[in-house]
Amino acid sequence: MINTETPSAKALSSDCLIQKFSPNHGKLRSFKLLKNIRHPSVVSVQNFYDEMGEPRFVLSWVDGSIMAWTKKSGAGKILKTSMNGTCPSSTFRRMLVDICSGLEHLFKHGVYPIKIGVNDIFMQTIGTRSYARLLISDEYVCAAKQLAPAAKAKHEEKLWSEVKVAALKIFNEAEKTQNTQMTDPIASRFFKYIGNGKGSGKLDGYPFAWTAEQKAKYLLWIVSMGKAVVSKSLQGSGITWPGTSKSGNLPAPLQQMIDHDKARANPSKYKISDPFDYLRICKDIIKHWLVLPKPVQQGCTSWDMLVERMEKWNPMIWCKLYERFE
């Protein structure tokens, strides 16, 4: 049970939460485990005291549950409308990144919550901004030393799965509140990407609203890794060359680029069965656009149009690449 109180000392006062428990000597051990956990996205345990034989935790302040906030006023801050439906806003994505960062911080300090759900995520409003906070109740905590390495890895996987479920539940509640249930496919991939084992920072960079220039630079960076590295990561990605026409030609400007390459003294020799060569030819067109012959340029009015066509030929290509190379 959590109560709100305003302790005061002379002229100073501070709002806080008081978590009450029935008599249990194990709470003091939990306090020793939790007292040093300090992260902006985790509700911190400030103090521990005993009242009439019953233990009390003094917690940092939060304003209420994230689900209550979503239903009342937060739905509009959670959602963003795109051409393909609704997706998480930058505000909500930042909240999720912060929560994931907080969970990583707990793991680092050997604290493993037994569960994480929407009831464990709270909101704190500071000025005009709202922040998500993860509440780790002591009765839901187990120390790392109590878990064998294999069990620890399995438990981490379970917790990340629960964070995914919680994030999607909050998002769906926002869609319901706003009377919209057409989710952008990129959003669906984003939620699945949570807890991918690559760190919360990678979640922050997910390609929601990348410009053509950002996509082009990312493509150049990937190809620069070399065939051996890239080909291995592309296995099973579903990224392929686009289909050919009845005459056996690839869509413009790929066919024109291949024809131009064959006429060169030292051709690049693109292999149309190789996904890496597909990325390589797109990279070459973008990188050398200004010096390519007119037949190639006439097949595409600009290099950024090629970026658009890449998305048509391989839907979700930037998400697929990001998930494999980050």
- 249 & 295 share domain: yes
Q: Which residue has the tokens 């009439």?
A: 52
- 26 & 86 share domain: no
pLDDT at 264 over 60: yes
Report the CATH number at residue 43.
Answer: 3.30.200.20
Report the CATH number at residue 231.
Answer: 1.20.1440
Task: Name residues whose C-beta falls within 8 Å of residue 272's C-beta, 6 or more positions apart in sequence.
Answer: 241, 250, 258, 278
β-bridge mates for residue 226, sequence order = none
Q: Tell me the per-residue pLDDT of 178-214, one tens digit each, with 9 for 90 and over.
A: 998 799 999 999 999 999 877 898 998 999 989 999 9
Q: Tell me the per-residue pLDDT of 139-169, one tens digit each, with 9 for 90 and over.
A: 566 766 677 888 888 999 999 999 999 999 9
- 85 & 157 share domain: yes
Distance CA 109, CA 152 (A): 13
Considering 204, 232, 265, which residue would you say is the last residue of a domain?
204
- Write b or e for each residue in 213-235: b if 16 or more Cβ atoms lie within 10 A of its Cβ, otherwise e: eebbebbeebbeeeeeebeebbe
- 122 & 192 share domain: yes
- 253 & 140 share domain: no
Considering 44, 59, 74, which residue would you say is the last residue of a domain?
59
Average pLDDT over residues 285-290: 97
pLDDT of 256: 97
Q: Tell me the per-residue pLDDT of 91-125, one tens digit each, with 9 for 90 and over.
A: 999 999 999 999 999 898 888 888 999 999 999 98
Considering 164, 180, 204, which residue would you say is the last residue of a domain?
204
Supply the range of the domain harboring residue 218: 212-325
- 127 & 235 share domain: no
- 10 & 32 share domain: yes
Distance CA 106, CA 108 (A): 5
- 73 & 47 share domain: no
The number of distinct structural domains making up the chain is 3
Query: What percent of the chain is modeled with pLDDT above 70?
Result: 80
- 264 & 175 share domain: no
pLDDT of 94: 95
- 188 & 313 share domain: no
- 138 & 82 share domain: yes
- 246 & 297 share domain: yes
